[in-house]
Amino acid sequence: MTEATSYLRATSVDEAIAALASQAGDAVIVAGGLVVGSLINQRLASPALLVDITRIPSLKKIEAGTDGGLTIGALTTHDDVLRSDIVKRTVPLLCEIAEDIACGRLRNRGTLGGSLCMMGQQGDPATGLLALNATIRIKGPEGSRTIPLEAFFKDAFELDLGESEILEEVHVPAAPKGAHWAFLKQGPRNAMDFTLVAVSVVARLGGDGRIDHIRCGMNGVSPTAVRPRNAEAALLGKSPGAIDWNAVGTAFDSDIKPESDLVYSASYKARLAKVLLRRAVERALAGGTK
Ligand SMILES: Cc1cc2nc3c(=O)[nH]c(=O)nc-3n(C[C@H](O)[C@H](O)[C@H](O)COP(=O)(O)OP(=O)(O)OC[C@H]3O[C@@H](n4cnc5c(N)ncnc54)[C@H](O)[C@@H]3O)c2cc1C
């Protein structure tokens, strides 16, 4: 066990990466600190070095892209997202998700990067970003790389993120023209509790009245945030009145791996997720929530 934890307030991404690399896996990035602080307080983590990235201005930004999408820096807080006119105009789904995260004080500190890089269960923004087909840019000692967010979430406690790498930004492409969004979540309480299950849906009806685009993102039902591809396939090409929800549910069962915890059983989580998925799809197909 490490005797004492050192602290570095990095002023550039390169300085932070060099600091992480110098500790060979015994350094931890601090963004909003909500999760890191709690782990250290509970003596569940005792890294040799804390690398504070909150004073790196390049990581805190929201920029509209030329492709109709937008780029969000990893240090952007949930409150920044909620209040951003660009996000409201371009991908209102992300504002809707941010609005429901915990409470004002936590939204003010918690960052998008911290939410995506949380080991174990990712937060609610991951569901919307999966549904929106987001990509992320990661930087490490070898340079930068861009990957689909879907590929970032590998397994329980496993991200595609090296020991000396930093998530720099998230790129959200423009949603397909005419698509609508919906987000639903369920937790023990509305505020101040981690979500139990959340689902985001981006869907569009084609000219013939059938679903010609559907992408969903979920958390709470697998070791990581997931995209239920089999359920999406069961929905694609159907008109809203002709969806076989039993078939969608069966397909969905093969997308998820819910685990029982001290309070909720795996079967309850699966059932809840199916109900939320159906409601969110129906809501999106009816024109979205906002
Ligand atoms: C009481 C409570 C209720 C909550 N309710 C909700 C909720 O309803 N919905 C929801 O979505 N979330 C909820 N959260 C989670 C909260 O939104 C996240 O904890 C927060 O977004 C994490 O961000 P952070 O900046 O504080 O992360 P930190 O604690 O700073 O970091 C989290 C992890 O990510 C790593 N990390 C951070 N930034 C980077 C980066 N740029 N690159 C690489 N690694 C990085 C850190 O090393 C650490 O391992 C809740 C949290 C609490 C405490």
pLDDT digits (tens, 9 = 90+) for 37-67: 988 899 888 899 999 999 999 999 999 988 8
So what's the pLDDT on residue 2? 47
pLDDT at position 60 is: 96
What pLDDT, on a 0 to 100 scale, did the predictor assign at position 194?
80
Alpha carbon nearest to ligand 1 atom 53, residue? 34
Q: Which of 186, 209, 210 is nearest to 197 (CA)?
A: 186
Backbone angles phi, psi at 172, to 5 degrees: -110, 115
Ligand 1 centroid, distance to 21 Cα (angstroms): 22
Contact 186, 272 (CB under 8 A): yes
Contacts of 37 (CB under 8 A, 6+ apart): 30
The best mutation among 115, 159, 160 to test binding of ligand 1, ranked by most ligand atoms within 8 Å of the C-beta, falls on 115
How many other C-beta atoms can be found within 10 angstroms of the C-beta atom of residue 2? 11
State the burial class of residue 219 (Cβ atoms within 10 Å of its Cβ: 0-12, 13-18, 19+). Answer: buried
Q: What pLDDT is recorded for position 105? A: 93
Q: How far is the CA of 122 from the centre of ligand 1 (A)?
A: 8
pTM of model > 0.85: yes
**Per-residue confidence (pLDDT) for residue 1, from 0 to 100:** 47
Which residue type is seen at 283? R
- Containing H/E element for 13? helix 13-22
The pLDDT score that the predictor gives to residue 74 is 98
Q: Which of 9, 111, 170 to mutate to test the pocket of ligand 1 (most atoms within 8 A of CB)?
A: 111
- Interaxial angle between packed helices 245-253 and 266-285, expressed in degrees from 0 to 180 and rounded to the nearest 10: 130
pLDDT tens digits, one per residue of 144-169: 999 999 999 999 889 999 999 999 99
Q: Ligand 1 centroid vs 80 CA: distance in angstroms?
A: 15
* All domains in the chain, ordered by first residue: 6-52 (3.30.43.10), 57-172 (3.30.465.10), 180-285 (3.30.390.50)
pLDDT, position 3: 64
Q: Which atom of ligand 1 is nearest to the CA of 36?
A: 29
| Nearest CA owner, ligand 1 atom 43 | 166
Whole-angstrom CA distances from 7 to 17, 32, 47, 131, 271 are: 14, 15, 10, 37, 45
Query: Whose Cα sits closest to atom 9 in ligand 1?
Result: 101
Protein residues with CB under 6 Å of any ligand 1 atom: 28-36, 74, 101-102, 106, 109-111, 113-115, 117-118, 123-124, 166-167, 192-195
Nearest to 28 by CA among 8, 56, 14, 1: 8
Please give the distance of CA 251 from its chain centroid, rounded to a whole number. Answer: 23
Could you say which residues of the chain have pLDDT below 70? 1-3, 120, 289-290
> Phi and psi of 268, rounded to 5°?
-65, -45
